[in-house]
Structure 1
Amino acid sequence: MPRPSNTEERRQQIVSGLLRVMSERGYERASVNEIAKAAGLSPGLVHYHFSDKQEILLVLVRQLAARARERVAKRFERLGADDARGRIDAFLDAFLATGADADTSAVAGWVTISAEAIRQPEVRAAYEQVVRADLEQLEALVAVLVGKRKARALAAGLFAAVQGYFVLSASSPGLVPAGSAANTVKHMAAGLLDTSAAREGA
């Protein structure tokens, strides 16, 4: 595998620097000087590699989405292709479970990105694209068990619970018992899916 170019390495340092600063202080307070300091670079290098702070944020949106999808894919590898319920649990686990691949700064960063999506049209477009793709994946998983007609509403409810846990854990960490989010949402999923399947069969 070829070694990343110096430009790629520097850009990655800067994006990681934004995530560090943003997860502690929010986007507004993440000045170029603070980002540069967190990245271990000069402010001039930040300006050289990115036109502005928003450009760094948009790259971060794509990277956080890719990380989450990688977590989902790794969990899917452990399951059979026909394990529909297991794949839903794995999807929820990838977003909410603690463990070796958990990243609290990514969660805090994502919450900040969702807030910026309300304020900035370009961020909103990138955020919606990511959320739509993730929600469509969950909807397809749910549809295997309950059919397409019911899948959208159930998937949206479960995905909203995931996003709600992100907000709670980032803004008021003491309110969410450690390690409880994934199990709680998986139990919610089981209840909703079982009830929906029972109604379908009645």
Structure 2
Amino acid sequence: MPRPSNTEERRQQIVAGLLKVMSERGYERASVGEIAKAAALSPGLVHYHFSGKQEVLLTLVEQLAAQARQRVEAKLSRVKSTSARAQVDAFLEAFLATGDDAAPNAVASWVVISAEAIRQPEVRAIYEQVVRADLERLTTLVAAVAGKRKAPALAAGLFAAVQGYFVLSASVPGLVPTGSAASTVKRMAAGLLDSTEDA
């Protein structure tokens, strides 16, 4: 496998710098100087590799989305031959990224990104695309359990619970008991899906 170019390595350092700064201080306080410092680079190199802070942010959104999709695909591939319910559980576990997959900086940054999506049309466009694709995937999994008619509302409720956990854990550290999000959302999913099977 060829070695990544120096340019790509630098870009990755800069994106990682924004992730670190933004997870601690938010986007507004993530100046190019702070990003450069966190990346152990000069501000000039940030400007050389990116047109501005927003371009770094858009790249970060794409990378966080790709990482989440990789986790989902890895978890789903492990339960592919099992029940549709197990696949919904795997999706939720992957999205909530517990255990070795835990990424508190990514979660905190995703919460900040969701706020920036309200303020910045360019961020909103990519954020909406990512969220719609993730929700569509969950809806497909839920439809295999609950049927196509009920799946959109059930999937949206579960997805909102996941996003709510992200906001709570990033905004009020320590409020959500460690390790409780995935098991709680999975129990919520079980309750919702069980109720559709009885109907």
- TM-score bracket, shorter-length normalisation: over 0.9
Give the equivalent residue in structure 2 for 1:137.
137
Inter-partner Cα distance in structure 2 for 1:66 and 1:83: 25
Give the equivalent residue in structure 2 for 1:173.
173
Matches within 5 A, 1:25-174: 25-174=25-174
Does structure 2 conserve the Cα–Cα contact (< 8 Å) formed by 1:88 and 1:142? yes
Amino acid at match of 2:141: L
Amino acid at match of 2:132: R
Amino acid at match of 1:180: S
TM-score normalized by structure 1? 0.97
Deviations 1:166-192 (A, max 9, x none): 000000122101100000000000000
Deviations 1:126-146 (A, max 9, x none): 100000000000000000011
Inter-partner Cα distance in structure 2 for 1:181 and 1:80: 23
Give the equivalent residue in structure 2 for 1:23.
23
Q: Which ranges in structure 2 are unaligned for 5 or more consecutive residues? A: none
SS in 1 for 2:135: helix
Deviations 1:90-145 (A, max 9, x none): 10001114211211000000000000000000000010000000000000000001
| CA-based RMSD | 0.8
Q: CA deviation at 1:77?
A: 2.0
Q: Which ranges in structure 1 are unaligned for 5 or more consecutive residues? A: none
Q: How many residues align?
A: 199
| Cα 1:46/1:93, change in 2 over 3 Å | same
Does structure 2 conserve the Cα–Cα contact (< 8 Å) formed by 1:97 and 1:181? no
Amino acid at match of 2:89: D
SS in 1 for 2:99: coil
Inter-partner Cα distance in structure 2 for 1:47 and 1:178: 39
Amino acid at match of 1:191: G
Q: CA deviation at 1:80?
A: 2.9
TM-score normalized by structure 2? 0.98
Does structure 2 conserve the Cα–Cα contact (< 8 Å) formed by 1:97 and 1:179? no
